[in-house]
Amino acid sequence: MNKKEHLQAQSKTRAFLIRAEIALKDNRIEDALMMLNEIKLDEMSMLSLEELHALGNLINYIKILAEEKKSELVAQLKAIQASREYL
């Protein structure tokens, strides 16, 4: 891969990361995941350490959000089950 292709791949990956971050700020987790899914493994191999770190932070943040959402859903389910038992 020549230098121009290498820079284009980095630019494309950066664009996906930026759009994923914006989606997360708008609370669109599914959109952020779809954008991260667009990043190919061969493109990741060309990223700088800083970009890989940013990607890792973004994935970790999505994981935390998913765990929080899961906890909220479990709490809601428990409340529904408790109210059904009460009735």
Give the pLDDT confidence of 4-54 residue by residue, as tens digits: 666 666 677 788 888 888 888 888 888 888 888 888 888 788 788 888 898
Is 76 or 50 the better-scoring residue by pLDDT? Answer: 76
Distances (CA, A) of 74 to 50, 69, 81, 82: 36, 9, 10, 12
Q: Where are the domains of the chain?
A: 3-86
Query: What phi, psi does 82 have (nearest 5°)?
Result: -65, -40
